[in-house]
Structure 1
């Protein structure tokens, strides 16, 4: 799915659920936390080095995007020991080596972003993604394009395009999860537009429709791991993203040629859940997110 070419073909924009209001300035403070992924749950995932997600992602991007991720694929795919998910690390090591000035731990995609994290004095092991992309937990490879071109289009779309009068944080100040949502939700928005176009034309055989369903399936896979929460609001964002993923899985599971009414119903649900997480993302990227959260959702 060549998002950067096809996105220009559509003018419809989903309305965000957020109430967009004027605001003041100031960057949010980072509150770096222990990874919240539960090690017991993650351990039930497949340990095979499944590259189907990476193959699909590569097919969905142009030559420029493929060049951006190919070096990551070569190095990260072999990052884990046989039978293990992630590279063993301690939380203190990650903080010392990868924490930025805001306190966010940011592991590059070409340096094994999925980590098995232990903490001194504890026997618990948490498996977490410390990159700023949604990745396959077995390979560390992004499920989506990760090019600068995507960021240049997607970040303004979720900020100043929605509400020019609002003040926003910079890309450098956004959390890993917020960055990953900017990329993933921008592509999901395009996939929903392509799906809507297929429904209007009753054409479910096009490559664009097939690619859209494949993206939704890949994003909904258990192996697709979003970045670990490192800010209080990341937890809420994760919950809304998970609801969107569930709706995408239900949509992609239906053959519209067999049951068009059921497909249309699930499409509406998928669009609603996507709008919900997009609306929250716009608020969290603003510099007065607390004020806007209260205005939109109440205390």
Structure 2
């Protein structure tokens, strides 16, 4: 029975299955209604290098480094011949899932992006715990020293019906799925860009150099080359669908032309993206209190 369940999850993963549990969907929707208005503004200050304060004036050469979303370099998923460095059949992948207790996780230096062949279909799959841009060989990953800060940040923003739930009733970072980890890291890394974008809109500074950099970053995040960590559990399937929608929102904000001339529409896109980002705090709280 366990193998059948794992096989169904694997097929859903590799075939872009959108099936999800009705109960989980209702729980997430209820949690969204109880979300705090703007948890991004409550981001911890001491441990974070990029603050949410208004963008400062910088020289042109400093702009990219100051306002861009940070990434870390990872090995190319391709070998010298241009083929995938690591390949698996569906049978081999299923064996990995069973051997590793349901979660297959490869470190960033161990080729987490792998090809999995299912019959005549080849799927390029991210089996790491961070979003990976295979066009730039870059991962949206935070330093290990900041992981406790990020994890506690998410648990501190509890929906009303989870208020006061002790940390002992949540799965730990080590027990979190690849996708859950990836989402928490991505929210943490994009928060400064969202806050800076909000400042630009609120203060009508559409000529600020940060705007173009922020849009470029969000456009890249929405591109097909940025791979979301693959879903491997039932709750992951719902979260994966949500992150696909968020990729679309990132792309829409990134490719929006002439924001200064279409301010109302651009501000609407920004608020929708910020709202969905805030809602992730609630959703992560719910899924981390569930077992897989």
Q: Is the 1:98–1:106 contact (alpha carbons within 8 Å) kept by the matching residues of 2?
A: no
Which residue number corresponds to residue 152 of structure 1? 148
Q: Is the 1:135–1:226 contact (alpha carbons within 8 Å) kept by the matching residues of 2?
A: yes
User: Separation in 1 of the partners of 2:207 and 2:164?
Assistant: 39
User: Separation in 2 of the partners of 1:103 and 1:146?
Assistant: 24
Which residue number corresponds to residue 5 of structure 1? none
Which residue number corresponds to residue 263 of structure 1? 266
> How far is the alpha carbon of 1:196 from its aligned partner?
0.9
User: Separation in 1 of the partners of 2:155 and 2:283?
Assistant: 11
Match runs of 1:221-236 below 5 Å: 221-236=223-238
> How far is the alpha carbon of 1:37 from its aligned partner?
3.5
For residue 124 of structure 1, the aligned residue among 121, 128, 145 is: 121
Q: Is the 1:204–1:210 contact (alpha carbons within 8 Å) kept by the matching residues of 2?
A: no
User: Separation in 2 of the partners of 1:58 and 1:137?
Assistant: 23
Which residue number corresponds to residue 134 of structure 1? 131
Flag the 1:136–1:58 CA change in 2: closer, same or farther, 3 A. Answer: farther
TM-score w.r.t. the length of structure 1 is: 0.66
Which residue number corresponds to residue 165 of structure 2? 165
Flag the 1:204–1:275 CA change in 2: closer, same or farther, 3 A. Answer: same
Flag the 1:271–1:112 CA change in 2: closer, same or farther, 3 A. Answer: same
Deviations 1:206-254 (A, max 9, x none): 4544443233112111111101110011111011111122122212222
Unaligned runs of 5+ in 1: 1-29, 40-55, 290-299
Flag the 1:183–1:60 CA change in 2: closer, same or farther, 3 A. Answer: same
Q: Is the 2:206–2:259 contact (alpha carbons within 8 Å) kept by the matching residues of 1?
A: yes
Matched, 1:34 2:10: yes
Flag the 1:97–1:240 CA change in 2: closer, same or farther, 3 A. Answer: closer
User: Separation in 1 of the partners of 2:289 and 2:212?
Assistant: 35
Flag the 1:108–1:204 CA change in 2: closer, same or farther, 3 A. Answer: same
User: Separation in 2 of the partners of 1:239 and 1:249?
Assistant: 16
> How far is the alpha carbon of 1:90 from its aligned partner?
3.1
Which residue number corresponds to residue 275 of structure 2? 272
* Partner SS for 2:114: strand
RMSD: 3.3
Deviations 1:63-93 (A, max 9, x none): xxx7xx34x3xxx126346454563223454
Flag the 1:214–1:148 CA change in 2: closer, same or farther, 3 A. Answer: farther
TM-score w.r.t. the length of structure 2 is: 0.67
